[in-house]
Amino acid sequence: MTVLHPRVDAQIDPRSDDSAELRPYLAGMFTNSLDAAVAAAKEGAPPAGEAVIRVRGLHKRYGAQEAVGGIDLEVTRGEIFAFLGPNGAGKTTTVEILEGFRQASGGSIEVLGEDPWQAPGSWRARLGIVLQESGAEPGLTVRECVALYAGYYPAPRNIDETIALAGLAAQSGERATALSGGQRRRLDVALALIGDPELIFLDEPTTGFDPSARRAAWEVVAGLRELGKTIFLTTHYMEEAERLADRIAVIAAGRIVAEGTPQTLGGRQLEAAQISFRLPETVDAFGELPPALAERVQRDQHGSVLLASTAVTADLHMLSGWALERDLELDELEVTRPTLEDVYLQLTSEE
């Protein structure tokens, strides 16, 4: 983690509002005159791999209803951890317990070495939270909002630098309530960052964003990773989790149903790939294809031929050899693997 930041000498274009401008800025944080000190500070920092969040057997009951039924989680320093699950699965409850807003009914919970429910104010200084829904401070400008929150922390970041980091330099003097939805979300990010936290909770940070705003937000999150922050992310966008997360856990009906990297979640890497193509009407796929393939093919409702394959190279070789012999063109030939969304839907529908 980095608590100590170099002062940034680079001048930020105050009109810049897009992520492209942000990247050199973030890079600049590591290439100025003090980068040696930063590197040294990083060496002194707790080692990566240390658990920042450690949860064992977390339970939460509301009356007779069990919202979270005994889950284990471990998030290590410096990683981006995505916590996925359908609405009502216990996701928000879990996050609010980790943030110290709700008390668990049972289990051991440790966040930055403390039980969130009993943690002192100094613990909150090490945490940044982007809430799922939070309005803008009424009547205050963007800069005033950030200055208000800066005053809450013992060692805040530089106010204007943080506003620029969130890509709001041009809106600094505008009333927070006048910002667009995406800009307001950036302000939330700036407010979560101003205390220079070690651990950041991002609860559905890009819900309601247009695609370009989402990409810009991803750049910001990626920048936070470069700063050595640990990030606990919840999202409904699988592309977001896939793009950002080092590890993913899926919660459904109050239990963790899968955990892994975006590539391996739910045994995704082991699942069969699917080869699909079209054949001319005159060819009988089931009768004419090599028997090794024919026994695995299906036709979908659009007439495409689908072939489940665990040995894609060999199957393609056989298939293309067969097609060349007959001088056939395999239209729309495609190899697809189950997307993270496919895996997620499968995992969460089983409950």
Q: Give the interface with other proteins as residue ranges (CB under 8 A).
A: 1-7, 34, 37-38, 40-41, 44-46, 62, 65, 67, 92-93, 96, 99, 101-102, 120-127, 129, 131, 133-140, 144, 147-149, 151-155, 188, 191, 195, 198
In whole angstroms, the minimum distance from the beta carbon of 196 to other proteins comes to 9
Contact 192, 199 (CB under 8 A): no
In whole angstroms, the minimum distance from the beta carbon of 124 to other proteins comes to 4
**Residue (27 or 155) nearer to other proteins, CB:** 155
Neighbouring residues of 141: CB distance < 8 A, sequence distance ≥ 6: 172, 173, 174, 175, 176
**Alpha helices, H only, 205-339:** 211-226, 238-244, 285-288, 291-294, 312-325
**Residue (41 or 316) nearer to other proteins, CB:** 41
Give the whole-angstrom CA distance, residue 125 versus residue 337.
Answer: 43
**Residue (37 or 311) nearer to other proteins, CB:** 37
Count CB atoms within 10 A of the CB of residue 130. 22
In whole angstroms, the minimum distance from the beta carbon of 215 to other proteins comes to 25
At 264 the three-state DSSP class reads coil
| DSSP letter (8 states) at residue 35 | H
Query: Can you read off the two tokens belonging to residue 50?
Result: 């240390």
Q: Which secondary structure element, helix H or strand E, spans residue 162, and what is its range?
A: helix 159-165
In whole angstroms, the minimum distance from the beta carbon of 131 to other proteins comes to 5
In whole angstroms, the minimum distance from the beta carbon of 13 to other proteins comes to 23
In whole angstroms, the minimum distance from the beta carbon of 16 to other proteins comes to 24
**Residue (92 or 162) nearer to other proteins, CB:** 92
Give the whole-angstrom CA distance, residue 61 versus residue 69.
Answer: 8
Q: Which secondary structure element, helix H or strand E, spans residue 183, and what is its range?
A: helix 181-193
Contact 38, 5 (CB under 8 A): yes
At 214 the three-state DSSP class reads helix
Query: Can you read off the two tokens belonging to residue 81?
Result: 């951890």
**Residue (96 or 219) nearer to other proteins, CB:** 96
In whole angstroms, the minimum distance from the beta carbon of 292 to other proteins comes to 54
| 300 CB-contact burial (10 Å; exposed 0-12 / middle 13-18 / buried 19+) | exposed
Give the whole-angstrom CA distance, residue 122 versus residue 115.
Answer: 13
**Residue (65 or 282) nearer to other proteins, CB:** 65
**Residue (121 or 211) nearer to other proteins, CB:** 121
**Residue (192 or 330) nearer to other proteins, CB:** 192
In whole angstroms, the minimum distance from the beta carbon of 50 to other proteins comes to 11
Round to the nearest angstrom and report the end-to-end CA distance of the chain: 38
At 136 the three-state DSSP class reads coil
In whole angstroms, the minimum distance from the beta carbon of 112 to other proteins comes to 9
Largest CA distance in the chain: 76
**Residue (152 or 286) nearer to other proteins, CB:** 152
